[in-house]
Structure 1
């Protein structure tokens, strides 16, 4: 665990780790630290979908939580501007 990080805050992957793991630029976000072991598991098990369920679940949950944070931030910004939704 990185210095100064709390137990509930996961250690994020560094640029060097993402580059070494050949993570595409589009996937280098705050969940990349979970994508690296998922991709390693996928290649080791020839992409059999039932072999890496734990890693996949962790990664997809992280993506969902990040999405919810972005939606909450967007709603907060929208409310501060006093605007309404267009859709």
Structure 2
């Protein structure tokens, strides 16, 4: 392979997009929340009136009978089951299920927004904890 000559006196750093596409690799990731471990913070912290607990509407038996695959076994599973049932009942006329599809899409969107807010909240709590530890030194 050897040395590759680049035109106009450019170096490999000139054409590397890594600094634009992967800026998070250079940052301290200790303050980033992980989705693989439980949060060490109290879920009610910062909510004086409390929080509404999220509840799964579709039961495990319903999801098993609907043969849902793991990506669809979330808080919107009941909407997905309704949508699939509508598709099955209105076989050639899928446009009749646009309302169910829309409600499922809204549920997925709201769920993703809620998860992003939780991630940001935990990130800010981690940053605050780190800042307070640094100030106490």
Shared fold per TM-score greater than 0.5: yes
Unaligned runs of 5+ in 2: 1-53, 129-137
| Aligned twin of 2:68 | 23
Alpha-carbon distance in structure 2 between the residues aligned to 1:10 and 1:34: 14
* Residues 1:50 and 2:50 are matched in the alignment: no
TM-score in terms of structure 2 length: 0.49
Structure number with higher relative contact order (C-alpha < 8 Å, ≥ 6 residues apart): 2
Unaligned runs of 5+ in 1: 1-8
Cα contact 2:55–2:75 (8 A) shared by 1: no
TM-score in terms of structure 1 length: 0.75
Which 10-residue stretch deviates more, 61-70 or 42-51?
Answer: 42-51
**Could you say what secondary structure the match of 1:70 adopts?**
helix
Specify which of 66, 76, 79 is matched with residue 124 of structure 2.
79
Question: CA distance change for structure 1 residues 10 and 75 in 2, over 3 Å: closer, same or farther?
Answer: closer
Alpha-carbon distance in structure 2 between the residues aligned to 1:70 and 1:35: 19
Question: CA distance change for structure 1 residues 31 and 47 in 2, over 3 Å: closer, same or farther?
Answer: farther
| Aligned twin of 1:3 | none
> Number of residues paired by the alignment?
75
Q: CA deviation at 1:82?
A: 1.3
Larger Rg: 2
* Residues 1:39 and 2:84 are matched in the alignment: yes
Alpha-carbon distance in structure 1 between the residues aligned to 2:115 and 2:105: 15
